[in-house]
Structures are given as C-alpha cells and as structure tokens.
Structure 1
Amino acid sequence: MTPFQSADVEAIFSGYPDDVKESMLALRELVFLAASDTDGVGKVEETLKWGEPSYLTVRPKSGSTIRMNWHSSRPDQCSIFFHCQTDLISTCRELYPDLFEFEGNRRMSFAAAQPPPDDALKHCLALALTYHSRKRSGKAST
C-alpha cells in the first residue's frame, strides 16, 4: 500500500466502515498506479478538498483533481468526483456505460461491497490525471 501523505486523509480512510474500506483503499491505490503507469503524469499530491480525499498532479500539472469518498447517504456505493467543467464524466460514461453509475457531470460510482473494476477505472483515472496536458496538446479524450 502506498503510504499516506497526510494524517488527515489517513483518518478519513480509517473512519470508513469495514465493509467498504477495502474498496476505498483499492480505489486510492488505483490512483497511484494510474499515475505511475501513465506517461507525463509525474508527482501526485494527496490532500483533502471539501473534506474528501483528493489527488492532483503537481509536477507537471497535467491533470484535473480527482476526489473520492463514501457517504452514509449512499452506503452501497463508492464515488469518484471529477471537476464538473471537464468532459471526464461524459467520456467515462461513453466508454463504460454499464460498469459505473453516473450522476450529472461530476460523479461516477461503483458497488462498495466489491473491488472496483480495475482496468476501466484505471483508464478513467489516467484520463483525469492527463486531462490538462491532453487538452493543451489537442489529443482526443480517450
């Protein structure tokens, strides 16, 4: 497991119910794996934004912020949030319409009781981690 960069973020993960903690930790690991496996991503910073674990590229600033969380209001889902002014959710919805539940242009969710769909989710995370660099270069979203 990748060591936590922030005690505050670690406390959020520690507070998840046992039945979803494994999925949330797997999602967190996928962020770091996608970053290390994707050209041009560089260093990823782990922090809290709006009280939720958040991941952003800092050197270079290649991507859009990824937030994640589990809420008791949706106890059966783990959620990933992308900036609402990007096309990331619409791209992921087009690529993987049956693997995730989508809400508007900012949230995608998967079943909390099961491990996340690794390959598809890693692809969506890589798209977020390279969002700005792809937009600058004019490359397609996928």
Structure 2
Amino acid sequence: MKVAPPFRDAAVQAVFDSYAEPAREGLLALRGLIFETAAATPGVGAVEETLKWGQPAYLTPETKSGSTLRLAPDKQGGFAIYAHCQTTIIPDFRDLFPEGFDYEGNRAIHFRDADSLPLERLRLLISSALTWRLRKRKPAARPQR
C-alpha cells in the first residue's frame, strides 16, 4: 500500500492523534486505502477529508460520485469503517463476503487489528462507496421516434 497523503486539515489530524493504539494504526491503514482506492478508481476525483460527527469522513465533492465513508474506533478497542446506513454499500459487500467480517447491520464493519486487514477485499467496499451515486444514476431516457 502507498503512503497516505499528509493531513490537510489540522482538526482531522488532531482526531487521529487522539486515538489510542492499536486502533489508530488500523484507522490510518484504512485512511491510506481510501486515498489509494480513490486515485485508482475512474470517476471519483479528489477525495475530501473532513470531520462528521467528530469522526474522519471521506467525500467526493468534486464529482459527487460517492457516499460518505467514516472511520472511528469502536467501544471494544478495535476500529470500524462506516457507510451510510440507507445505502446498500454494506449489505452488498456482505453478500459478496458473508464470512470473515464483523458486520454491524447496514452501517459498519468492525476490525480488531491492522495487521489482519483484508486490503484487497476492502478495496471493493471503498470503491463501491466512492462510486455509489455513479452506479445509482439512471441513464437519460431515449426520446421515442
């Protein structure tokens, strides 16, 4: 995995700095994977890193291609990636990979440590979120002749 870009927002960096290890290590790995996947996914454009509900959030404001992803530690000492619960991002991923992940309904996947992150599978999840709106847009109706 490539190195994630430096933080552009001091408030986001401060939130990451406040996270305890080993959750911080895992969250930084997910952050890097988000930026790497965005750069490799056509139609995504630049990713904005900001805070939503006090958590690092990743949006596609330039292209509006995706749905927001958020990262946060969980109460059990691990960490999680969150998708909007009214999308099918998590359920679609669960259909592909029903085993091997700790799902929280339609909103999150929880992890225990960064060393066991299944990066190739998670690229699919991230790409799906970053292109959510592209996939949900319907083509314009063809005029009838």
**Distance in 1, Cα, partners of 2:28 & 2:99:** 23
TM-score of the superposed pair, with normalisation by structure 1: 0.89
**Distance in 1, Cα, partners of 2:40 & 2:61:** 16
Counterpart AA for 2:45? G
Alignment of 1:52-67 (within 5 A): 52-67=55-70
Is 60-69 or 12-21 further displaced after alignment? Answer: 12-21
Unaligned stretches of 5+ in structure 1? none
**Structure 2 counterpart of 1:133:** 134
Cα deviation, residue 114, structure 1:
2.6
**Structure 2 counterpart of 1:89:** 90
**Structure 1 counterpart of 2:51:** 48
The question of 1:100 aligning with 2:78 is answered no
**Distance in 1, Cα, partners of 2:25 & 2:35:** 16
Fraction of identical pairs, as percent: 45
TM-score of the superposed pair, with normalisation by structure 2: 0.88
Is the Cα contact below 8 Å between 1:82 and 1:89 reproduced in 2? yes
RMSD over aligned CA atoms reads: 1.4
**Structure 2 counterpart of 1:39:** 42
Larger-Rg structure: 2
- Runs of 4+ residues deviating >6 angstroms: none
**Distance in 2, Cα, partners of 1:19 & 1:109:** 13
Number of aligned residue pairs: give it. 136
Structure with the higher strand share, 1 or 2:
1
Unaligned stretches of 5+ in structure 2? 140-145
Cα deviation, residue 119, structure 1:
0.5
